[in-house]
Structure 1
Amino acid sequence: MRAFVAVVEEGGLSAAARRLHVSQPAVSQTMQALERQLGVQLVVRSSAGVRPTEAGATLLTEARAVLARC
């Protein structure tokens, strides 16, 4: 969840990786695994960065709430 929130808030995988102090491939793999597990695309990737899909925007709200409670 932390990786997903960071990706959306930072607008890209590399920036999220820097924020989380992990490698970009690790963030990419985490995102792919989350999307696979949920069976839905969470972000749209482009050369300009990433933006959440409708499902991603819904998850973002819930993920922020969960992380705030931790």
Structure 2
Amino acid sequence: MRTTLVFAQIVISALLIAAILLQQRGGGLSAAFGGDGNVYRTKRGLEKAIFIATIILAVFFFGIALLSIIIV
């Protein structure tokens, strides 16, 4: 059971890194320091799907981390 959790955590972490790297730059904290922070636009299409997938993967990663702590 523990090896399954470790393997799942490795796979989810790799997917989470890929999802974060695929997102467009220019939002968040970097926009506060001279970026294009005054323009509001909504996420659409693939950008929105990657954003939602990043949130879901982060929740799964956190859940598996807590589960592995409980099992140990």
Q: Same fold (TM over 0.5)?
A: no
Coarse TM-score class (shorter-chain normalised): 0.3 to 0.5
Between 1 and 2, higher relative CO (CA 8 Å, sep ≥ 6) is seen in 2
Max radius of gyration: which structure?
Answer: 2
Higher strand share: 1
